[in-house]
């Protein structure tokens, strides 16, 4: 409710001071959101919750679309289809700028305002997007690596469930830089059983691994934790993850994991829709990118956000 009141307050103030007449309140924007997020990944359900809440708060008509798997060809086709519908605004994630760039540039050339979110901050401006909402992935990985090194970690494993997704590859790169370089990337599929088995195999083949960073709480973090529990190593091997899930946060609170890196993906869904709605109605837009993270959720903070994570907000 406070966020809704703040948004409406900003609109009222802007309408009072704009030199040109504001559009009618009932001129609601038609916005299409296209992301690479798979339906099986709980991270993206939180993003979608943010999109839907922004639609509710602004009155915008919003259509959320994503390919069934991590598929850049399919995602590019979804963006092209969105452009053909001539929406008032387009929100996109950019996990692969080379593959998706032409489709995004086509939207910009058609006069459709574009905001990027989650991944692709480096390519966003070059492709013509108004701004990006997300976190700097290399910096976030570096921050996590530095924290794990300070905790005594010496040899690390980076569990990557979407190798080829530039944002996730950058997380591993940043982890390696912050941790000190002694990091191996473990490629896995979006399959909890496979992740659990591969983590076990990696630890059995190299007993010197004392630190693991997963790149998604629900997708990779929880299966990795399950592997450690099966091996009797939970709480003995340092474990952290990007993003949040109620189960992983519970493990942090219980001391079985060290922390989760929160990029506040609810904001990544909410803010672009809110910004494009204001842009459509009043010509208002922030002057630059909006960092939604990173924030380290450690044991002292975990209990506070477990409930909100279970509700699909954190």
How high is the pLDDT of residue 42?
Answer: 83
- 111-159, pLDDT tens digit by residue? 999 999 999 999 999 999 999 999 999 999 999 999 999 999 999 999 9
Q: Which residues, in sequence order, are CB contacts of 205 under 8 Å at separation 6+?
A: none
- 254-278, pLDDT tens digit by residue? 999 999 999 999 999 999 999 999 9
The pTM (predicted TM-score) of the whole model is 0.79
Q: Which residues, in sequence order, are CB contacts of 68 under 8 Å at separation 6+?
A: 38, 39, 74
Burial class (CB in 10 A: 0-12, 13-18, 19+), 91: buried
Domain 137-262+298-310 part of CATH 3.40.47.10: no
Q: Which residues, in sequence order, are CB contacts of 153 under 8 Å at separation 6+?
A: 179, 210, 211, 238
Mean pLDDT of the chain: 91
Rounded to whole angstroms, the Cα distance separating 65 from 226 reads 31
Rounded to the nearest 5 percent, the helix, strand and coil shares of the chain are 50, 15, 35
Instruction: Give the count of beta carbons closer than 10 Å to the beta carbon of residue 301.
Output: 16
Domain locations in the chain as residue ranges:
2-135+264-283, 137-262+298-310
Q: Which two tokens stand for residue 70?
A: 């991590």
Backbone phi, psi, residue 214, to 5°: -95, 155
- 237-259, pLDDT tens digit by residue? 999 999 999 999 999 999 999 99
How high is the pLDDT of residue 298?
Answer: 96
CB 102 within 8 A of CB 94: no
pLDDT at 105 over 60: yes
Domain 2-135+264-283 identical in fold to domain 137-262+298-310:
yes
Give the helix/strand (H/E) hosting 287.
Answer: none
* Higher-scoring residue by pLDDT: 41, 274: 274
Rounded to whole angstroms, the Cα distance separating 107 from 62 reads 17
Instruction: Give the count of beta carbons closer than 10 Å to the beta carbon of residue 306.
Output: 20
Task: Specify the CATH number for 2-135+264-283; select among 3.40.50.2300, 3.30.470.20, 3.40.50.1100, 3.40.50.620.
Answer: 3.40.50.2300
């Amino acid at each position: 409710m406070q966020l809704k009141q703040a948004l409406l307050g900003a609109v009222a103030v802007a309408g009072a001071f704009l030199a040109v007449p504001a559009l009618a309140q009932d001129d609601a924007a038609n916005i299409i959101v296209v992301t690479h997020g798979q339906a099986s990944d709980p991270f993206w359900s939180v993003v979608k919750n943010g999109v839907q809440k922004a639609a509710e708060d602004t009155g915008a008509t919003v259509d959320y679309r994503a390919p069934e798997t991590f598929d850049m060809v399919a995602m590019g086709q979804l963006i092209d289809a969105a452009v053909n519908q001539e929406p008032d605004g387009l929100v996109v994630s950019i996990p692969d700028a080379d593959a998706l760039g032409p489709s995004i540039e086509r939207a910009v050339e058609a006069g459709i305002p574009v905001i990027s979110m989650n991944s692709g901050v480096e390519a966003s401006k070059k492709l013509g997007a108004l701004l990006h909402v997300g976190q700097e992935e290399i910096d976030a990985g570096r921050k996590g690596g530095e924290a794990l090194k300070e905790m005594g970690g010496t040899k690390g494993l980076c569990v990557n469930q979407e190798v080829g997704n530039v944002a996730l590859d950058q997380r591993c790169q940043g982890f390696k830089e912050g941790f000190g370089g002694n990091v191996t990337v473990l490629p896995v599929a979006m399959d909890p059983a496979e992740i659990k088995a591969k983590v076990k195999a990696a630890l059995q083949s190299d007993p010197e691994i004392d630190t693991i960073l997963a790149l998604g709480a629900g997708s990779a973090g929880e299966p990795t934790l399950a592997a450690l529990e099966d091996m009797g190593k939970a709480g003995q091997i340092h474990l952290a993850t990007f993003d949040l899930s109620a189960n992983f946060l519970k493990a942090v609170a219980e001391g079985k994991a060290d922390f989760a890196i929160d990029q506040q993906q609810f904001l990544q869904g909410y803010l672009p829709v809110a910004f494009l709605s204001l842009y459509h109605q009043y010509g208002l837009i922030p002057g630059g990118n909006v960092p939604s993270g990173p924030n380290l959720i450690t044991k002292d903070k975990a209990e506070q956000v477990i409930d909100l994570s279970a509700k699909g907000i954190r």
